Structure 1
Amino acid sequence: MGDPDLLEMVEQEGRRNSREFIYSVETSDFQKRAQSKDSVFFRDGVRQIDFVLSYVDDIKKDAEIKAERRKEFEQNLRKTGLELEIEDKRDSEDGRTYFVKIHAPWEVLVTYAEVLGIKMPVKESDIPRTENSPLRYMLGPVRLPQEVKFPRPEYFTAQFSRHRQELFLIEDEATFFPSSSRNRIVYYILSRCPFGVEDGKKRFGIDRLLTSNTYSSAYPLHDGQYWKPAESPSTVNERYTLYQNWARFSYFYKEQPLDLIKDYFGEKIGIYFVFLGFYTEMLLIAAVVGLACLIYGILLMDSNQTSTDICDPEIGGQLIMCPLCDQVCDYWRLNSTCLSSKLSHLFDNESTVFFAIFMGIWVTLFLEFWKQRQARLEYEWDLVDFEEEQQQLQLRPEFEAMCKHRKMNPVTKELEPYMPLWNRIPWYFLSGATVTFWMALVVSSMVAVIVYRLSVFATFASFMESEATLQHVKVYFTPQLATSLSGSCLNFIVILILNFFYEKISAWITKMEIPRTYQEYESSLTLKMFLFQFVNYYSSCFYVAFFKGKFVGYPGKYTYLFNVWRSEECDPGGCLIELTTQMTIVMTGKQIFGNIKEAIYPLVFNWWRRRKARTNSEKLYSRWEQDHDLETFGQLGLFYEYLETVIQFGFVTLFVASFPLAPLLALLNNIIEIRVDAWKLTTQYRRPVAAKAHSIGVWQDILYGMAVVSVATNAFIVAFTSDIIPRLVYYYAYSTNITHPLKGYVNNSLSVFLIADFPNHTAPSEKREFTTCRYRDYRNPPEDKDKYIHNMQFWHVLAARMTFIIVMEHIVFLVKFLLAWMIPDVPKDVEERLKREKLMTVKILHDFELKKLKENLGINSDLFSKQVMMEESKVQLAKSTI
């Protein structure tokens, strides 16, 4: 990106014209009264600070090398036209940190604005604003004041050109470029500025200097304090405006000032908050429908025929169930699970099917409408002709340091660092092996939790399953429930521990792969982290939904884990209630822990850093020192925010048939998450360098993949985890009761086992007078010649389950494809606006060039006429293409 001749020209111009305001540290006469501690200007009070570098005296053996690097780097910065002002360590609060303040004068800004292709306003737009957010239907209190929501008018824009400055709406050179554009330009220069030659290679870039600790930090300044407005009426403190209207939790019900976020933090951070806000708005619809399904289950809980039969002493009270573990466990009556059967019906009812289909359609609408929102955003934020950000395509310092080869770049025709594939292959193998090992570790930990549940179940059963389970007494806390709750909590703790260590290891192994650019680094880390967290957070849910209770065998011929522990059976109320319990604990726990961590972590570290820094209270605690003591957002700050949101999206979509409250929990979390993230960025973090982005990147592809998988998982949950299909088969094929078709279903769904057929090592130690017991399955009775073999009803139910999966998937996918086809990626009004802006921009440029031609050519009318015809033909061509 950028014209080398143009950059060379500005460097020469900087050598000739830049004013070097160099203050000697020995003769510094800085006084506390000379400047406000919140000043964002040089000491003259005129030149704005666009960037700050800091470093400390290094007494190690490489101190001289670092000092020489800094000296040459700062000299080269001045050659590009930047102006520097150095603060001596004696004036800093900790008495050991130097601060280099950087100001970009007008000549530098206009040159690099052209190099970076920054679009600037040429004329106020005549297209009225439209609001397309679902929030427009809500009440007025939700809205922000217009001056906060739209801090600047809409403009027609064009790529800036320093030779066409009079074309642009330049009222004040000091405020023409917003602070986000200024710090992006300065960072671009810093990232390309050389600082010496080492080992015959030219070294450049602030990132390399930060990696080697030559500088300790590099950051743009916040506008001012977040808790008070700017001291001067002519100065706008956007940080204060953002805090007042966005970062306060009391504004949780308000819409976000998205344009102001974009102007202050840049498009990349802005689009994250647009996505999070849009996702939260869409969750509102899913949450309302999910809550309605739960209310439906509550209303029908007492009238449910299955629960009524289980709780009835004459039905469930007379059904003696087979022991749930060997020897230690005793027989029990079915009505002891009365409460769990009622709770299970909250989520295992007819509305489950409806909600599963609804969420399959909802996720399609969400993704399609997001594409439209993204297209609208590209137009509103001038990202239509977006080019990949330089700081993402820039070579990483670690890559340059490790490379011993050079290769001609076919695009730039320059020699660039190059690493052959065979040098990377060992690291790729190590990376793949590491990821595989950790995912295997997750599965092993899940198996360990299963073993824990199997081991402690007998313990719980030994003191919880007393004679009460064989009497007509209500039992409110069963061994199954106790084991499920404790196992889910233990599983959540293991998830957090594994996740903590894997984050460190994945970052290290990604560095060892030596990615060429920051974009490659982020893509590699994304793949590793998402694969691991997918397995880490969802493996236990997949186990409960699709494996638990499916391969247990039957009394007398149970299957055993490692030939020691009998395979887990589902709760008598069904596995769906256990999946709901697992989902509730993991999802809720993750969200609460994540929000507490995000709020407490920077707060504690910033307090400790300020406490250590403020050793000289009589010194001026300046604006750059205050920001220096804040946490660093880092290049991967948004990566972890997106990862957290995508994992939550998986909970909302993959297993939502078992837990219709998942969208509501996600909605409540996101309302808090938006304000916590806003508070962090506004108050606890240094201001990030503004960066451009026109989409959420690879995360959109991940969301599409999860949306497709969610259709299958919900179909299987309804078919195999819930009892809806067996009840429907009984309703239509086996029921003989016309008035109450489901009466008798409980007895029909339980097979009979002859106690005498128990092997000695599995039979309960205490003898009973019962001759038979019951268990959940469809098998022939003991008096049948093919005893304990699956009966015909089992195959009918299995066929119905498979049919349901096929039908549901085809219906949902058909609707998904129809919706994707019907909903255009770019809204029609946005297309029209784009055409209008393109036409107006061409016309404005055409009129400007004609005016210049007329002034330059003067009396040469023939040449002028030819130029006019050429320019008019360009306009006509633009109209025809539009």
Structure 2
Amino acid sequence: MFQKRKQRREYFEASLMKMGMELEAARSVVDEKLLFVKVHMPWDMLCTYAEVLHIKMPIQPNDLSTTSSTFNFLSCITKHFYPSEDLIAKETEYFTAPFEKDRLEYFYVKDRDLFFTPSMRSRMAYYILSRAPYEVRGNIKKFGVTKLLDGGVYKAAYPLHDVSGSEESKEDECPNERYLLYNEWAHPKSFYKMQPLDLIRKYYGEKIGIYFAWLGFYTAMLALAAIVGLACFIYGYMTQETSTWSKEVCDPLIGGNIVMCPQCDKECTYWRLNSTCESSKKLCIFDNYGTLVFAVFMAIWVTVFLEFWKRYQAELEYEWDTVEFLEQEEQPRPEYEAKCNHERINPVTRVRKMPIHMYSNIIFFYITLTFIVLILASVVAIIVYRLAVFFSFSTRLQSDLKELEPFKEYVTAQMATSVTASIISFVVIMVLNILYERVAIWITDFELPRTKTDYENSLTLKMFLFQFVNYYSSCFYIAFVKGKVVGYPGQPVYLLGKYRNEECDPGGCLIELTTQLTVIMGGKAIWNNIQENLIFRYCTRVGSEKVIPRWEQDYQLQPIGKLGLFYEYLEMVIQFGFVTLFVASFPLAPVLALVNNLFEIRVDAWKIITQFRRMVPEKAQDIGAWQPILQGVAILAVASNAMIIAFTSDMIPRLVYYWSFSVYPYGDHSSHTMQGYINNTLSVFDIQDFSNKSRYRDFRYPPGHHRQYEYSIYYWHVIAAKMAFIIVVEHIVYLTKFVLSYVIPDVPYTVREQIKREKYLSQVILHETNLKLVTKRLKPVADKILKHNEDKEEEIMDLHF
């Protein structure tokens, strides 16, 4: 095995030198058994592969005048929120064109050593390393450093960092890019500053740059949503004591005289409505008219966020030369080229390698369906757990109508059951995530996508589909299923023929949904931070940096995962779903997301600068498959929040009562009141154990009515109002979204003009170059024809004389 590895290593290094690379070996100063091979690319080779990869290089400075911003007068204030221009100068804008070695004189080359950026050099070097052969057997050729790493031939392959980004001193008063990024971006003292995106892109490549650009833009937009959400929360908190319905519940003369039916069979007690006074006040914090306004605001906010992100992304695409990246530059993955040996006729290229993965979609469908069934089974198991624990607590309570303490214990027990069920649900979610992640990666590898972008998009769709069901299924259950099919005291509905179906908390299902969201959203953020920080294995350095060379210091750092930023995107998109899908029940969600993201940006920056090896720079045009996923979540959020307000909260019944059934005496329909609302929402059930009647939450006719225990006319008014609310709100919001999408163009006007100017200059250069080549080729022929004509003229003149 050792001999085989040695042969592969020697053949691979010989292949690299044959392709034009320069190799240099260095022995480790820490471990004598460890040998480092440094790879260098000479100028001529850089030019060759820059043309192969269609890398766009500057041809001349941007000569289009930029319009001044209307907010320039605030620059004296805003400049403090940007990185220091003395350290990070603003990048000069250039018009660019795909590099061509034969037309070097047309490109803007001031210094050959600085013409190609370090990220470009690293990308070209990795392209060669991924395609250099290490073994040839007959017609079978094996190639790529990735396979050598997997086979243990090499331990690692990585680009070199600049000098340590965490050191406090500047060398020669000219700090390197890594130091600047650490000092002006990752350091805690710079938490309030905007991100130096151009420098991030220059050092790490476009793919890292576009992620942090998106994360920063999303966090900035969250600030507005957080302010409005916090205002709605404060409004609910301030009005919980003055709310008419909470006052009626807490009033001993109203809520204290209303006896409620037991919420389980045999063991549960009758209880007085004012026992739920505290729950009713908590409900008023989240279920008020401000929440309705905030839900509509968030529906508009998400549209504005996505539309302005597309504009900002278009600007970055032009500035970072990725407008035509997918069509021109992205090369096939080495795994695709190595494994794909099936050819089929293509109408465009006539012959093209195509992978055989006809069964991958079928496998994916059945495996995903199996995991979704597991998720639904876990949801049912959590329901059974809640019912069993609730029943266990109920057997310990005393059934005394006059004493209120037993039911207060019952309310506490029910809340404890809800919280513990949410925690168990969170643990199940994390376990299923680990299992499904491995399966999703295996299926995607089996599919054999052609490019890395295709690979990531395919994996993204698989992972998000599962994560969507995994994270949100319990929330959808509480919002739209729980407490909706319970029957009434005379005819309850049973689950599994044993347990009486779940009813909502006395404060309503909205409180339970808020609890579930808080536990899952907060638990996920805490768990991710534990993974990223507390459990993070810090690299250990031996000796000092003056003794250990740069390449060996980088070897001691953590390697970046194969999926790169995939999990960072997934974490943020799941958070985006919590912020938008259920915001009607939890207006503080944007606040929590904002606080988390402010730390997330700096923690991620600190990790990649100080704790990880420098990753191979990659090109990226946009955020990939995450863009349509965000758009899909935004569309679903409108319907989700409208249905939460209609079916989970008490907003619509209150409005129906206020405008239709509540008027002051003597027929004064111009004056409305909420007095008597609580009594109106309760139905009467006839019992023989007490002289008075018992109540339960529903809209049914009382005993003695010719349609007793059937739904009352008020119920149908409420249902009609709920459906009308959903239809009206959805149409208004979707119309607004359509108008905003039409009014806000995806590509700014200035960017379109710059793209046209750049294409024109590229065509001019191409025309002039071709004209010179044609002139150079035809000159000998033209000279010969001219010489021939001159000889003919001389002969004619001689004959004439």
TM-score after normalising by structure 1: 0.82
User: What secondary structure does 1:324 align onto?
Assistant: coil
The 2-side partners of 1:410 and 1:710 are apart by 42
User: Counterpart of 2:63?
Assistant: 126
User: Counterpart of 1:775?
Assistant: 696
Residues 1:729 and 2:656 aligned together = yes
Distance 1:617 1:828, change over 3 A: closer
> Quick check: 1:317–1:472 contact (8 Å CA) kept in 2?
no
Residues 1:641 and 2:568 aligned together = yes
Q: 1:674 aligns with which of 594, 598, 601?
A: 601
The 2-side partners of 1:793 and 1:774 are apart by 17
> Quick check: 1:544–1:579 contact (8 Å CA) kept in 2?
yes
User: What secondary structure does 2:157 align onto?
Assistant: strand
The 1-side partners of 2:325 and 2:169 are apart by 34
> Quick check: 1:395–1:518 contact (8 Å CA) kept in 2?
no
RMSD between aligned residues:
3.1
The 1-side partners of 2:463 and 2:68 are apart by 36
Residues 1:539 and 2:476 aligned together = no
User: Counterpart of 1:220?
Assistant: 159
User: What secondary structure does 2:436 align onto?
Assistant: helix
Distance 1:132 1:323, change over 3 A: farther
The 2-side partners of 1:633 and 1:469 are apart by 65
Distance 1:292 1:567, change over 3 A: same
User: Counterpart of 2:611?
Assistant: 684
Q: Once the two structures are superposed, what CA deviation does each residue of 1:199-248 show, in whole Å capped at 9, x if it has no partner? A: 63122222222233322221111112112379753975211111111112
> Quick check: 1:389–1:691 contact (8 Å CA) kept in 2?
no
User: Counterpart of 2:291?
Assistant: 352
User: Counterpart of 1:451?
Assistant: 384
> Quick check: 2:197–2:212 contact (8 Å CA) kept in 1?
yes
The 2-side partners of 1:131 and 1:702 are apart by 35
Counterpart code for 1:803: A
User: What secondary structure does 1:203 align onto?
Assistant: strand
Distance 1:188 1:461, change over 3 A: same
Q: 2:431 aligns with which of 494, 497, 522?
A: 497
Residues 1:400 and 2:334 aligned together = no
User: Counterpart of 2:742?
Assistant: 821
Q: CA deviation at 1:521?
A: 3.1
User: What secondary structure does 1:752 align onto?
Assistant: strand
Q: CA deviation at 1:301?
A: 1.5
Q: CA deviation at 1:628?
A: 1.7
Residues 1:786 and 2:707 aligned together = yes
Q: CA deviation at 1:164?
A: 2.4
> Quick check: 1:464–1:479 contact (8 Å CA) kept in 2?
no
Q: CA deviation at 1:69?
A: 1.5
Q: CA deviation at 1:665?
A: 1.0
User: Counterpart of 2:753?
Assistant: 832
Q: CA deviation at 1:568?
A: 1.0
Distance 1:183 1:298, change over 3 A: same
Distance 1:176 1:513, change over 3 A: closer
**What are the within-5 Å matches in structure 2 for residues 2-401 of structure 1?**
62-88=1-27, 91-127=28-64, 139-147=78-86, 150-198=89-137, 200-228=139-167, 233=172, 237-387=176-326, 393-396=332-335, 400-401=338-339
Distance 1:103 1:411, change over 3 A: farther
Counterpart code for 1:660: P
Q: 1:583 aligns with which of 492, 497, 517?
A: 517
Q: CA deviation at 1:141?
A: 2.3
Q: CA deviation at 1:722?
A: 0.6
User: Counterpart of 2:677?
Assistant: 745
User: Counterpart of 1:875?
Assistant: none
> Quick check: 2:701–2:707 contact (8 Å CA) kept in 1?
yes
The 2-side partners of 1:293 and 1:350 are apart by 9
Distance 1:660 1:523, change over 3 A: same
Residues 1:650 and 2:577 aligned together = yes
Distance 1:769 1:414, change over 3 A: closer
User: What secondary structure does 2:227 align onto?
Assistant: helix
Deviates more, 1:483-492 or 1:650-659: 483-492
Identical columns (%): 51
Counterpart code for 2:184: N
User: Counterpart of 2:630?
Assistant: 703
The 1-side partners of 2:31 and 2:189 are apart by 36
> Quick check: 2:400–2:406 contact (8 Å CA) kept in 1?
no
Q: CA deviation at 1:828?
A: 1.4
> Quick check: 1:194–1:203 contact (8 Å CA) kept in 2?
yes
Q: CA deviation at 1:520?
A: 3.9
> Quick check: 2:657–2:674 contact (8 Å CA) kept in 1?
yes
Q: CA deviation at 1:446?
A: 1.3
Unaligned runs of 5+ in 1: 1-61, 757-767, 864-882
Distance 1:229 1:384, change over 3 A: farther
> Quick check: 2:83–2:193 contact (8 Å CA) kept in 1?
yes
Q: Once the two structures are superposed, what CA deviation does each residue of 1:547-574 show, in whole Å capped at 9, x if it has no partner? A: 0110011102111110111111112221
> Quick check: 1:737–1:743 contact (8 Å CA) kept in 2?
no
Counterpart code for 1:304: S
User: What secondary structure does 1:117 align onto?
Assistant: coil
Aligned residues: 776
The 2-side partners of 1:162 and 1:419 are apart by 34
User: Counterpart of 2:412?
Assistant: 478
TM-score after normalising by structure 2: 0.90
Residues 1:437 and 2:370 aligned together = yes
**What are the within-5 Å matches in structure 2 for residues 591-606 of structure 1?**
591-601=525-535, 603-604=536-537, 606=538
Q: CA deviation at 1:652?
A: 0.9
The 1-side partners of 2:312 and 2:145 are apart by 36
User: What secondary structure does 1:656 align onto?
Assistant: coil
> Quick check: 2:161–2:554 contact (8 Å CA) kept in 1?
yes
